[in-house]
Structure 1
Amino acid sequence: MISPQQSVFMLCKNTALDVFDGKVYDYLPGKEVAYPFIFIGEQFSNDIVNKSVIFANVTQRIHFFHNDFRERRSISDLILKYMQTIREEELAFKRNILVKEMNYRMLTDNTTDTPLMHGVLEITFLVN
Structure 2
Amino acid sequence: MATKSPQQQIYDAVFSASLNLGFDTYDYLPADSADYPFVFVGEQMNSDRRTKRFLYGEVHQTVHVYAIQRNGEQPQGTNRAAFMGMIDELKVEMRKIKRTDNFKIIEQGINDQILLDTSTSTALLHGVVEVHFLFH
TM-score interval w.r.t. the shorter chain?
over 0.9
Q: Tell me, which stretches of 5 or more residues in structure 1 are unaligned? A: none
Q: CA deviation at 1:122?
A: 0.4
Distance 1:110 1:50 in 2: 47
2:90 to 53, 74, 82: 82
Q: CA deviation at 1:109?
A: 0.4
| 1:64-98 residue CA offsets vs partner (Å, 9 max, x unmatched) | 00012352111111111111122122112231111
Q: CA deviation at 1:38?
A: 0.3
1:107 to 115, 118, 124: 115
Give the structure with the larger helix fraction. 1
Distance 2:61 2:94 in 1: 12
| 1:25-67 residue CA offsets vs partner (Å, 9 max, x unmatched) | 0011111111010000000001134222111200100000001
Which segment drifts farther, 91-100 or 111-120? 91-100
- TM-score normalized with structure 1 length: 0.92
Aligned residue in 2 for 1:51:
52
Aligned residue in 2 for 1:65:
66
Aligned residue in 1 for 2:15:
13
| Preserved CA contact (<8 Å) 1:48 1:57 | no
Give the structure with the larger strand fraction. 1
Q: How many residues align?
A: 127
1:90 is paired with a residue of what secondary structure?
A: coil
> What fraction of aligned residue pairs are identical, expressed as a percent?
30
Q: Which amino acid aligns with 1:10?
A: D
| Preserved CA contact (<8 Å) 2:60 2:130 | yes
Greater Rg over alpha carbons, structure: 2
Q: Tell me, which stretches of 5 or more residues in structure 2 are unaligned? A: 71-77
Distance 1:64 1:93 in 2: 27
Q: Which amino acid aligns with 1:75?
A: F
Q: What's the C-alpha RMSD, in Å, of the aligned pairs?
A: 1.3
| Preserved CA contact (<8 Å) 2:6 2:102 | no
2:35 is paired with a residue of what secondary structure?
A: coil
- TM-score normalized with structure 2 length: 0.87
| Preserved CA contact (<8 Å) 2:64 2:127 | yes
